[in-house]
Amino acid sequence: MDSFTPTGRSTVKRLPKRGEYGREGVYQILDEGLVCHVGFVVEGQPFVIPTGYARSGDTLYIHGAQASRMLRTLRDGVEICVTVTLVDGMVMARSAFHHSMNYRSVVVFGRAAVVEETSEKWEALRALTEHLAPGRWSEVRQPTEGEMRATLVLALALTEASAKVRTGPPVDDEEDYELPVWAGVVPLHLAAGVPINDPRLPQGIEPPPHVSNYTRGARR
């Protein structure tokens, strides 16, 4: 796949060696994340709101109720910044100063547009459900016309984006390596626990494989 062209706002300025602009790497991070943080401005005031999302092709979709304040602001086509962050580990150095995190993050800039066309809206809702758990969409009751109307779907073209990634062990000052201090990385990942049946689930309905074998990090 090709790469994003770094722009003034998407170029990784601090520690530029951690910046990545390849589309494939950016999409892997977007596909693994569950929640994005959407930044937008209302009368000079920044807001940062977490929400679900999904990628389909070169488009990122978010959705919500027609009444959502955030979506009503975004649908006007204001500039937004959407950030997805995966926390991969704590980097434990020999000095407090060199402690860090291993992470993979993506920042996307642009203006969202309302998805009006029914077939694209349907595809977005499919992608949003499948993003939670691949295989889910075909097992559940799909949206009615009324639910489609009640849902606002916004599309953000993935044209201006960058990733920032830190991996590997701590980097200590040379003279600190002889200190008798444990150093290394504590890996972190989003882990799934045992599924909790809905209290009203009839007896005899077992979790399907996309639930009982759920993993998030496997796609990385």
Binding residues among 18-37 for a copy of itself as defined by CB under 8 A: 34-35, 37
Stretch that binds a copy of itself, among 18-26, 53-61, 153-161, 169-177 (CB under 8 A): 169-177
- 157 binds a copy of itself per the rule CB under 8 A: no
CB of 114 to a copy of itself, least distance (A): 18
CB of 184 to a copy of itself, least distance (A): 4
Nearer to a copy of itself by C-beta: 131 or 155? Answer: 131
Distance between CA atoms of residues 212 and 195, nearest Å: 7
In eight-state DSSP terms, residue 138 is: G
Interacting residues with a copy of itself between 92 and 111 (CB under 8 A): 92-97, 99, 101, 103, 105, 107, 109
Burial letters for 4-22: b for 16+ Cβ neighbours within 10 Å, e otherwise? beeeeebebeeeeeebbbe
Distance between CA atoms of residues 136 and 103, nearest Å: 28
CB of 192 to a copy of itself, least distance (A): 5
Length of the chain: 220
Asked if 156 contacts 59 with a C-beta cutoff of 8 angstroms, the reply is: yes
**Total residues interacting with a copy of itself, rule: CB under 8 A:** 96
Asked if 79 contacts 111 with a C-beta cutoff of 8 angstroms, the reply is: yes
Instruction: Kindly give the pairing relationship between strand 100-111 and strand 59-65.
Output: unpaired
Interacting residues with a copy of itself between 114 and 153 (CB under 8 A): 125-126, 129, 132-133, 136-137, 139-144, 147, 151
